[in-house]
Amino acid sequence: MDDNRLGVWTFERDGEQIAWGRPGVTDEERAAAGRETLAAVRAALLAENRSRAALAMEAALPEGQDVLRVWASRDPRDLRARLGGERLAVWAEGDVLHVLWRGEDGPPNVGGGLQPVLWPVDGAPDLWEASVRVRGLDEAVIELHVVPERPSHRDHRNHGEHGDHGKHGHHGEHRADGHVTVRWRGPRAPSPAPGPAEVTGVVERHELRFLGEARGVTVYRPPGAAGPLPGCVMADGQFVPALARTLEPAVLAGDVPPFVLVGVHCASGTGGADETGDARGREYIPSSDPPRFAAHLAFVADTVLGWARETCGAAAGPWIAAGVSNGADWALGAACRRPDVFRKVAALSPGSPPSQDDPSAAGGAPARCYLGAGTLESGFRESARDWAVALSGRGCAVRHEEWIGGHDAYWWSQRLPVALAFLLA
């Protein structure tokens, strides 16, 4: 057995020491092997984390820091009143965002725009909380995905797409498997891009062969557009139908010129890992598995794009490479290695900075690049800034922007039309 598979590591994020273990590995497995458990490490870190967060609660955000964990002792009775019988509540007090969860099976995992570890509430074994000070919180949009460790099948009321925003705050959209999603919007946050009730353009799913296996490709073409159109090829193409909801209004309004979006699905379809590790990362991050990255890049450049020209009405080129998170790493790596094919890039929240020992750092560069990241996703934000500097230094026309939010599909859907308007201008 791989000993590292059962390991627990710690790192610091936003003023908090965080314990981390490999996804899919349980504490039961660790305990059976005599290894330290994730729960034990988190418990050992709690007192120091609370002490630091209590001091931070009494002070302003340090210069240059946009998000910081804070804490104050709370009366469980007040917190239960805040929940109002729900499992999740999200609300703001000044520049502090609070997240509160009720669950008997331990703390849930929190993902999305903020990813705090929920701490236990003293005197209430079923309550878990996090408080985070955010610079510019009144202008923020933050989507949270709360995933119970052991999903309950109770209390699955649906409070609407973005949650119930009554006097107790947001309570979220509940799924049948116990997952809850809530989108918190500050009172001065920008209005969302319009989205149609139904996309009227063409959205089609196809399959091509890659390394002997079927690989999904989803294509979007806006309504009423004739003739060959500029092409944009996007990583994580399984999300093209959702992205079309904000792209189509931008095209119809004339903000974005008509184009064909060709989305190549990631390995395993959902971005998950296979038995060898992170299958998606192996194809998207140049340094993760260089032969696999190169094979995937050749598949896209030599097979997918030719197929799209013949069957989807895409122009001969040059193409835009686009992606979010690790998919942004792929788009940047593809354009730096094959600038003859990918002349423009839309990279949102790239996970890896340009590296001097990476071929992409010493190689070519796209002619035009849009880079963006949220103020609450510090590592991705730094990577986007580093890429903006590096590509500008290689003669690329760069537009670099930031939003008050995090590693969040909401923001990616909002910024992709802006990126394409810049790249297709």
pLDDT in tens, 380-402: 999 999 999 999 999 999 999 99
374 three-class SS: strand
In a domain, 191, yes or no: no
Say if residue 46 is in the same domain as residue 64.
Answer: no
Q: Measured in whole angstroms, how far is the alpha carbon of residue 129 from the centre of its chain?
A: 22
Question: Number of structural domains, the chain?
Answer: 3
Residue 3 confidence (pLDDT): 66
DSSP 15-43: TEEEEEE-TT--HHHHHHTTPPPHHHHHH
- Give me the residues paired with residue 234 across strands: 263, 322
**Mean pLDDT value of segment 33-38:** 94
Provide the sign of the torsion angle of the four alpha carbons 132, 133, 135, 139, taken in this order: positive
The residue type at 330: W
Rg (CA), the chain: 22
pLDDT at 357: 44
Q: Look at residue 98 and tell me if it is in a domain.
A: yes
Q: Tell me the average pLDDT across 59-71.
A: 96
Amino acid at 55: L
351 phi, psi to nearest 5 deg? -90, -25
Tell whether 244 and 304 lie within a shared domain.
yes
pLDDT tens digits, residue range 157-169?
A: 333 333 334 334 5
Q: Which residues contact 118 (CB under 8 A, 6 or more apart)?
A: 99, 101, 107, 108, 110, 128, 129, 130
| Shared-domain flag, residues 99 and 7 | no
Please check whether residue 195 lies inside any domain of the structure.
no
The whole-angstrom separation of Cα 156 and Cα 132 is 27
- Domain with 368 in it: what CATH number? 3.40.50.1820
55 in a structural domain? no
304 and 399 assigned to the same domain: yes
Phi/psi at 134 (nearest 5 deg)? Answer: -125, 125
Residue 319 lies in a domain: yes
Whether 214 and 335 share a structural domain: yes
| Mean pLDDT (the chain, rounded) | 89
Of the three residues 160, 185, 210, the one that is the final residue of a domain is: 185
Question: Is 138 exposed, middle or buried, given 0-12, 13-18 or 19+ CB atoms closer than 10 A?
Answer: middle
Polymer length in residues for the chain = 425
In a domain, 193, yes or no: no
Same domain flag for 241 and 354: yes
Q: Give the domain extent around 158.
A: 60-185
> 44 with 65, same domain?
no
Write down the pTM of the prediction: 0.89
Same domain for 403 and 287: yes
Element containing residue 328 per DSSP (H, E)? helix 326-337
> Could you tell me if 283 and 392 lie in one domain?
yes
Query: Are the CB atoms for 350 and 360 separated by under 8 Å?
Result: no
| pLDDT score of 270 | 42
385/266 same-domain check: yes
Domain match, 40 and 65 both: no
State the number of CA atoms in the 13 A half-sphere of 120 facing the CB: 15
Q: Which two tokens stand for residue 403?
A: 């939003």
Q: 64 and 40, same structural domain? A: no
Within 10 A of 43 (CB to CB), how many other CB atoms are there? 12
Task: With beta carbons less than 8 A apart as the criterion, state whether 376 and 67 touch.
Answer: yes
